[in-house]
Amino acid sequence: MALCEAEKTFVLHGVEENFRIDGREREDYRPMELETSIVSHAFGSARLRLANTDVLVAVKIEVDIPFPEKPNEGKIEFFVDCSANATPDFEGRGGEDLAIELSNSLSTAYQSSRAFDLSKLCILKGRKCWKIYVDILLLECGGNLFDAVSLAVKAALWNAQLPLVKSVHVDGNNIEMDVSEELYDCQKLDIKNAPVMVTVCKIGDYCIVDPNQAEEKCSVGSIVVAVSGDRLSTVLQTGAGSLHPTTLVESMKLGHTVGQRLNQALWEALQQIPEDQDVGFLK
Amino acid sequence: MTIDHKRINGPEETIPYELFQKLNTKSLTTQFNECSKDGIRKDKRKTDEHRKIFITTGVVSQAKGSSYIELGNTKVIVSVFDPREIPNRTDYSLKGEIDCEFKFAPFSCPKRKLQQQDSEEKHYSAIMKQALESAVCRHEFPNFQVDIYALVLHNGGSALSAAIIAAGLALSHAGVPMYDLITSVTLGLQNGEKLVDLTLEEETLCLSPIADSKSHGIVVLSLLSTHEQVSQFFQTGNLTLEDVVECTHLLTKACKDIVPLIQKTLAKHVVKNVKESI
Amino acid sequence: MKNEPLLCLPGQRLCLSDKTHTSGQGTYERQGYIYSMLAGTVDIVEKDGVQIVEVHTKGEQTIVPVQGDIVTAQVYIITQQFCKCFIKCVGDTVLRRHFRGVLRREDVRATEKDRVEIYKSFRPGDIILARILPITEAHTYQLSTAENELGVVIAHSEHGHPLVPISWTEMQCTKTFVKEPRKVAKVVPENPKDMET
């Protein structure tokens, strides 16, 4: 997306007047659409649409061996796939940098045990644990990917069903696990504190949240704040610009308050999803 | 980096034997208390004190610019090469690109590192690029790319900060136009204490929570000191907003403390060049 | 000019930017001040009553060719339509990395453009002087030799002996006296005063 100087000035003036090009205020989000349990082969899945951004997240769970340095913990890994469906730029290895940036930010945000407790994924210390694969597919890019991806990941993890292990037998080197045969006998993951990311963009002298593509082009610098509960789990700068320390602090404060609100809104939305819904895209 | 298939790589997974020693039985709290007690750390530093820094330029003769930094035990070598055409690009970019490669030498960490970049190294490369992008006058070399290679010879903690400082110095040693000198500092939080310039041991201890409600985490900040601009900020862990704000102030101050040293090293290099040309 | 050179470092504030001081090579302007962007020495050049503040590094400079520069290049491929070269020097600075350049048939000489034949003007291995044209295509510099002073300066005959210019279209082998067609440059000293002394 290319913008000329006049268009950039227009966006900038809108931000200054607290009346952005799509009519929002500086701290407003665009409407979102969230669906869960849409991929039947996955343990949990979610699709989030935020204006033109469309993200599909599926969670797969496998049995693995814990890291020797962390025998009590399970594993979680994030993979981002920038599909060429989203923009032709992603063709081949085009989206690789973006994918790495997104998956790195997710894994640092989930790193602390306060944000996501990996020790609950341990089956037998040092021998067996659950490994969660979170696969993120970008179907359409309309700006603000970090926020959309983190919300979708949280929803998919909420939706995920961890098989219930009834008992574990150790026989020499063999480990036998007895998994409950009842199909609906599952555990839910604890994601109350899973981080939600907020991108704060600085345009002119003001900071905004949820930038669309045009606004992303006008920003001089932006930071991503991952909020877990009332704490910050990750803050990172994106894009090429630099910020004054005071601006940095201001935008972190903004991200912090907005993140908590967003988290609350997501939680309420998740509670409204009925337990026994059908699986599939067309419900 | 492209994968070298002809190279005989070491084993894919190795486990350092230290993990199996019976030393790791102490709880994290006691380990941390040993590291920092009454504001004095294991190496007799105060909490806000830097380790001794040694930095020099011109260590790689074939590179356009290079520098070597020792931050306590951390040793990093950085080299910068001439601008070259951006590979695999068809459109014209008005601003030049910088390409960073951050690599731990296989023997630099307790765990053996592979020849290929792992995800941590890729992440660090991205952070380095982010930090340096706003320091370099990229409009001066449109459509070109400057390559920066950072190799950590010994990871004694704060390796990323050390690499960023050294890269800034190597860039101006190479004569790449820059808006400002760049400095970077790592800070760790644990159990209510804030430790500047972490050692490797402190770094690991700051990553997991030990006390019930207190913050823990690591913050890395890079600063362009003349214009007082934060060019890169990275935080991980679990911190309250107040903590992060306080860390930002501490780190800005700590970053400014190193600036005279960088200036001195660079001035030495310029004086040497001037003398040679007379 | 002072004897003691004035050192400066990147990001160092040099002076106010006003009517009498403007920012030149190696410096940038921000919020009314001139800052240095290199580690080097400060030079002040006076021009039309305005002092241009410049910063120069000693030793090698980071240089990329820009439009209008005279470059020294080596021809490596010739076709009917164009010849491809490696740019080796910009002005009198030798480049560490070579850049690719293309010299099209219509840019070989200024007159009778449609009668130019590349193989009668250049051969692979020739060292030429050329001027950089405005960049239209990413990644390759367009070159031109459509000036008397531009064209082949060093070349070797088919047998590998050096050629010497005998006219602006021909060169002769020093050993076999074979004449070969070339677009020969009229080499002029850059600074005529140096020649007198």
As averages over each run of 10 residues, the pLDDT of chain A (283 residues) reads 85 90 88 89 91 91 88 91 80 80 91 88 89 93 89 93 85 82 79 91 90 87 90 87 89 93 91 72 56
Does residue B74 have a pLDDT over 90? yes
Pairs across B and C, CB distance < 8 A: 103
Q: What is the pLDDT of residue C138?
A: 62
Q: What is the pLDDT of residue C144?
A: 92
Q: What is the pLDDT of residue B251?
A: 94
**Contact at CB, A253 and B230, closer than 8 angstroms:** no
Q: What is the pLDDT of residue B260?
A: 94
Chain B environment of A100 (Cβ under 8 Å)? 119, 122-123, 126
Q: What is the pLDDT of residue C54?
A: 86
Q: Which residue among A233, A248, A253 sits closest to B230, beta carbon to beta carbon?
A: A248
Q: Which residue among B82, B85, B276 sits closest to C62, beta carbon to beta carbon?
A: B82
**Residue B68 falls in which region: left (phi positive, over 0), alpha (psi -120 to 50) or beta:** beta
C114 within a domain of the structure (yes/no): yes
**Contact at CB, B233 and A115, closer than 8 angstroms:** no
Indicate if C85 and C154 belong to the same structural domain: yes
Chain position carrying tokens 């040993």: B34
Q: Which residue of B has its CA nearest to C11?
A: B180
C12 within a domain of the structure (yes/no): yes
Q: What is the pLDDT of residue B67?
A: 95
> Residue B223: which CATH number?
3.30.230.70
CB B184 within 8 A of CB B161: yes
Chain B environment of A111 (Cβ under 8 Å)? 207, 236-237
Indicate if C102 and C172 belong to the same structural domain: yes
Hey, what domains does chain A have and what are their CATH numbers? 14-272 (3.30.230.70)
**Contact at CB, C11 and B137, closer than 8 angstroms:** no
The verdict on C37 touching B (C-beta cutoff 8 Å) is: yes
CA of B245 vs chain A CAs: smallest distance (Å): 6
- More confident call, C63 vs B194: B194
Task: Please provide the average confidence, as pLDDT, over all residues in chain C.
Answer: 85
Q: What is the pLDDT of residue B22?
A: 62
Q: What is the mean pLDDT of residues C151-173?
A: 90
Indicate if C125 and C153 belong to the same structural domain: yes
B100 within a domain of the structure (yes/no): yes
Query: Residue A59 is encoded by which pair of tokens?
Result: 């969670």
C47 within a domain of the structure (yes/no): yes
Does residue C1 have a pLDDT over 60? no
Q: Which residue among B86, B177, B271 sits closest to C26, beta carbon to beta carbon?
A: B177
Q: What is the pLDDT of residue A171?
A: 83
C43 within a domain of the structure (yes/no): yes
Indicate if C123 and C150 belong to the same structural domain: yes
Q: Which residue of A has its CA nearest to B121?
A: A104
Indicate if C77 and C51 belong to the same structural domain: no
Distances (CA, A) of B103 to B78, C56, C153: 10, 33, 46
Q: What is the pLDDT of residues C123-155, one digit of tens each?
A: 999 999 999 988 776 667 889 999 888 999 999
Whether pTM exceeds 0.80: yes
Q: Which of A136, A149, A150, A134 is nearest to A53 (CA)?
A: A149
C112 within a domain of the structure (yes/no): yes
- Cα A97 to chain centroid, rounded: 17
- Cα C126 to chain centroid, rounded: 16
C115 within a domain of the structure (yes/no): yes
3-state secondary structure of C23: strand
Q: What is the pLDDT of residue A265?
A: 92
Touch test C–A: 3 Cβ pairs or more under 8 Å: no
- CA A51, A55, A56, A60 torsion-angle sign: negative
Q: What is the pLDDT of residue A163?
A: 84
> Which residues are CB-neighbours of A19 under 8 A, at least 6 positions away?
A25
Q: Which residue among B64, B89, B137 sits closest to C37, beta carbon to beta carbon?
A: B137
Q: What is the pLDDT of residue A162?
A: 87
Q: Which residue among B81, B226, B274 sits closest to C11, beta carbon to beta carbon?
A: B226
Indicate if C36 and C112 belong to the same structural domain: no
> Residue C27: which CATH number?
2.40.50.100
Output DSSP code: residue B175: T
Lowest mean pLDDT among A37-41, B147-151, B249-253, C96-100: C96-100
The verdict on B51 touching C (C-beta cutoff 8 Å) is: no
The verdict on C24 touching B (C-beta cutoff 8 Å) is: no
Chain B environment of C37 (Cβ under 8 Å)? 137, 140, 177-179
Indicate if C84 and C167 belong to the same structural domain: yes
Interface predicted TM-score (ipTM) of this complex, two decimals: 0.86
Task: Please provide the average confidence, as pLDDT, over all residues in chain B.
Answer: 87
**Contact at CB, C60 and B64, closer than 8 angstroms:** yes
Strand ranges for chain B from DSSP E? 36-37, 40-41, 53-57, 65-71, 74-80, 84-85, 97-104, 144-154, 182-190, 193-196, 216-224, 229-239
CA of A276 vs chain B CAs: smallest distance (Å): 35
What is the extent of the structural domain holding C103?
70-181
> Residue C152: which CATH number?
2.40.50.140
The verdict on B277 touching A (C-beta cutoff 8 Å) is: no
Q: Which of C18, C61, C19 is nearest to C37 (CA)?
A: C61
**Contact at CB, B238 and A245, closer than 8 angstroms:** no
Q: What is the pLDDT of residue B211?
A: 65
Q: Which residue of C has its CA nearest to B96?
A: C64
**Contact at CB, B238 and A115, closer than 8 angstroms:** yes
Q: What is the pLDDT of residues B29-57, one digit of tens each?
A: 777 777 777 778 888 888 888 999 999 99
What is the extent of the structural domain holding B240?
41-87+96-277
Q: Which residue among C5, C100, C139 sits closest to B274, beta carbon to beta carbon?
A: C5
CA of B50 vs chain C CAs: smallest distance (Å): 24
Indicate if C52 and C74 belong to the same structural domain: no
The verdict on C167 touching B (C-beta cutoff 8 Å) is: no
Q: Please give the backbone phi and psi of residue A166, each rounded to the nearest 5 degrees, phi first.
A: -80, -45
Indicate if C76 and C167 belong to the same structural domain: yes
Q: What is the pLDDT of residue A204?
A: 86
Q: Which residue among A223, A234, A238 sits closest to B236, beta carbon to beta carbon?
A: A234
**Contact at CB, B230 and A238, closer than 8 angstroms:** no
Q: Which of C114, C147, C106 is nearest to C128 (CA)?
A: C147
B8 within a domain of the structure (yes/no): no
Q: What is the pLDDT of residue C92?
A: 81
CA of B231 vs chain A CAs: smallest distance (Å): 4
CB B109 within 8 A of CB B201: no
The verdict on B88 touching C (C-beta cutoff 8 Å) is: no
Q: Which chains touch C (3 or more CB pairs under 8 A)?
A: B
CB A235 within 8 A of CB A226: yes
CA of B68 vs chain A CAs: smallest distance (Å): 26
Q: What is the mean pLDDT of residues B7-28?
A: 72
Q: Which of B20, B229, B46, B231 is nearest to B132 (CA)?
A: B231
Q: What is the pLDDT of residue A242?
A: 86
The verdict on B90 touching C (C-beta cutoff 8 Å) is: yes
Lowest mean pLDDT among A136-140, A196-200, B230-234, C3-7: C3-7
**Contact at CB, B240 and A230, closer than 8 angstroms:** yes
B28 within a domain of the structure (yes/no): no
Q: Which residue among B134, B234, B244 sits closest to A241, beta carbon to beta carbon?
A: B134
Indicate if C29 and C96 belong to the same structural domain: no
C168 within a domain of the structure (yes/no): yes
Q: What is the pLDDT of residues B174-207, one digit of tens each?
A: 888 899 999 999 999 888 888 999 999 888 888 8
3-state secondary structure of C66: coil
Does residue C31 have a pLDDT over 90? no
Which residue in C23, C29, C62, C84 has the most chain B C-beta atoms within 10 A of its own C-beta, making it the best mutation to test that interface?
A: C62
**Contact at CB, A237 and B130, closer than 8 angstroms:** yes
- CA B20, B21, B22, B28 torsion-angle sign: negative
Indicate if C93 and C170 belong to the same structural domain: yes
Neighbours of B116 (CB within 10 A): 14
Chain position carrying tokens 């993979």: A79
Q: Give how many domains chain C has, as a whole number.
A: 2
Q: Give how many domains chain B has, as a whole number.
A: 1
Indicate if C172 and C79 belong to the same structural domain: yes
Q: What is the mean pLDDT of residues B211-239?
A: 88
